[in-house]
């Protein structure tokens, strides 16, 4: 009886994997690249968890004249490098897999300016950013000159990976101010302020944001208000106020765990 149950479970998993592979191949056929190549070979390698081969083959596509302008090889390189960075068996052979994954994710978004392959990329980029968010949050909590510098560098990479993440840009602006680069801080704040005002006027903003974008927006507003509280309390109060519709109470469109950190800081200004 136990063997029968095991065999059934094994067969189910095999069929599930085959179905997933066929589904992804079918999905990829819908999207055509600039070279009319759907890169099914890369997709099969990725689905079968042949990350090393997928990465190496993706890199070859990025060097060929016919395919080097296509976004998809860069996306496959990013995905396979990221998966290798999460698996200890690749640590020795690919010690820089994590940094490589960041690099190719940013290269992918640079190639895919109009986000044509959003359906293929968004879930991956969101997952990747969630991991980076944890790193940044820990660096900020340490609150040393060195860790602020590391958080600064990572926050820049985040909005290169996801140009629509204005929360990451605001966080970058605040970290620039903390690390004494006030010119860059002002430059990026000017970019972010109109988006923040939109948040203040629209309680449905979160509906159109990914989980990682929501996290970075909340963190950036909190860190901005905390840093500028003594330096420019009026402006800090204005910025913290832009997030009231989104983070003060539980929001039906929120994808992140509710936290009282924003509420307490907001009340401290009022």
Q: Which pLDDT belongs to residue 200?
A: 82
Closest C-alpha among 72, 70, 69, 37 to residue 54: 72
**Does the structure show a pLDDT above 80 at 18?**
no
246-256 average pLDDT score: 95
6-16 average pLDDT score: 51
As a whole number of angstroms, the distance between CA 132 and CA 151 comes to: 9
Asked if 35 contacts 111 with a C-beta cutoff of 8 angstroms, the reply is: no
Confidence of residue 38 (pLDDT cuts 50, 70, 90): confident
**Does the structure show a pLDDT above 70 at 154?**
yes
Q: Which pLDDT belongs to residue 21?
A: 53
Which of 2-16, 43-57, 194-208 is the most confident on average? 43-57
242-258 average pLDDT score: 95
**Does the structure show a pLDDT above 90 at 172?**
yes
**Does the structure show a pLDDT above 80 at 2?**
no
Q: Which pLDDT belongs to residue 28?
A: 47
**Does the structure show a pLDDT above 90 at 144?**
yes
Q: Which pLDDT belongs to residue 25?
A: 47
Q: Which pLDDT belongs to residue 27?
A: 47
- Rounded (10°) CA dihedral 128, 129, 130, 131: 60
**Does the structure show a pLDDT above 80 at 12?**
no
**Does the structure show a pLDDT above 60 at 246?**
yes
**Does the structure show a pLDDT above 70 at 252?**
yes
CA 53 to chain centre: 24
Q: Which pLDDT belongs to residue 11?
A: 53
Q: Which pLDDT belongs to residue 37?
A: 84
Quote the mean pLDDT of the chain: 90
Asked if 94 contacts 84 with a C-beta cutoff of 8 angstroms, the reply is: yes
Q: Which pLDDT belongs to residue 108?
A: 98
**Does the structure show a pLDDT above 70 at 35?**
no
Percent of all residues in the chain with a pLDDT value above 90, rounded to a whole number: 83
Asked if 68 contacts 62 with a C-beta cutoff of 8 angstroms, the reply is: yes
Q: Which pLDDT belongs to residue 202?
A: 87
Q: pLDDT per residue over 175-197, tens digit each?
A: 999 999 999 999 999 999 999 99
Confidence of residue 270 (pLDDT cuts 50, 70, 90): confident
79-92 average pLDDT score: 97
């Amino acid at each position: 009886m136990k063997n029968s149950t095991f065999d059934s479970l094994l067969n189910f998993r095999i069929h599930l994997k085959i179905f997933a592979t066929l589904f992804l191949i079918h999905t990829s056929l819908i999207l055509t690249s600039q070279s009319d190549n759907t890169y099914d070979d890369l997709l099969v390698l990725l689905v079968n968890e042949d990350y090393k081969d997928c990465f190496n083959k993706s890199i070859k596509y990025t060097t060929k004249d016919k395919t080097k302008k296509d976004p998809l090889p860069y996306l496959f390189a990013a995905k396979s490098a990221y998966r290798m960075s999460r698996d200890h068996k690749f640590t020795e052979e690919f010690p820089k897999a994590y940094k490589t994954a960041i690099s190719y994710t940013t290269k992918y978004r640079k190639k895919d300016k109009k986000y044509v392959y959003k359906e293929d990329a968004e879930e991956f980029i969101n997952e990747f950013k969630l991991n980076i968010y944890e790193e940044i949050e820990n660096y900020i909590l340490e609150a040393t000159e060195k860790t602020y510098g590391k958080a600064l560098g990572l926050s820049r990479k985040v909005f290169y990976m996801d140009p629509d993440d204005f929360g990451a840009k605001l966080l970058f602006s605040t970290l620039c101010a903390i690390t004494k680069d006030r010119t860059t801080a002002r430059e990026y704040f000017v970019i972010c302020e109109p988006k923040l005002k939109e948040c203040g006027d629209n309680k449905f903003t979160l509906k159109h944001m990914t989980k990682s974008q929501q996290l970075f927006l909340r963190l950036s507003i909190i860190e901005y208000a905390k840093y500028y509280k003594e330096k420019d309390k009026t402006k800090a109060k204005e910025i913290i106020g832009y997030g009231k519709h989104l983070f003060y109470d539980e929001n039906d469109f929120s994808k992140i765990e509710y936290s009282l950190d924003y509420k307490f800081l907001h009340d401290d200004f009022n």
